[in-house]
């Protein structure tokens, strides 16, 4: 089984998504960043407007539009702390 990341996506008032993922992609003020298992620890500021894409085991992907906040990568996994996070499909309209 491939290595996985533990991911927490948290907005100001609620935990939005939590689980295991193969990869996280986020746009920071320094550019788009892809995080795989074993990534070096870092702290990045999320770009506005931004999107966080979480690639799940099996190929599925979930995406959230985020406003403000930070992305933290540590040995324990990835934490995204955003001012707000909305599922991308809802943010784009139906």
| Domain CATH code at residue 34 | 2.60.15.10
Q: Which residue has the tokens 């099996």?
A: 58
Rounded to an integer, the average pLDDT of 59-69 is 95
Ramachandran area for residue 30 (φ above 0: left; ψ -120 to 50: alpha; else beta) = alpha
The 10 Å CB-count burial string (b at 16+, else e) for 10-41 is: bbeeeebbeeebbbbebbbeeeebebeeebee
| Model confidence band, residue 91 (pLDDT cutoffs 50, 70, 90) | very low
Residue pLDDT, tens place only, 27-62: 999 999 999 999 999 999 999 989 999 999 999 999
If one counts the domains in the chain, the total is: 1
CA distance 52 to 36: 14
The H helix count followed by the E strand count for the chain is 1, 8
């Amino acid at each position: 089984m491939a290595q996985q990341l533990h991911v927490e996506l948290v907005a100001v008032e609620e935990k939005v998504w939590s689980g295991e993922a193969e990869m996280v992609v986020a746009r920071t003020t320094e550019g788009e960043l892809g995080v795989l298992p074993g990534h070096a620890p870092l702290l990045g500021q999320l770009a506005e407007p931004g999107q966080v894409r979480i690639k799940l085991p099996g190929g599925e992907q979930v995406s959230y539009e985020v406003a403000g906040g930070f992305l933290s990568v540590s040995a324990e996994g990835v934490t995204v702390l955003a001012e707000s996070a909305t599922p991308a499909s809802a943010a784009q309209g139906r």
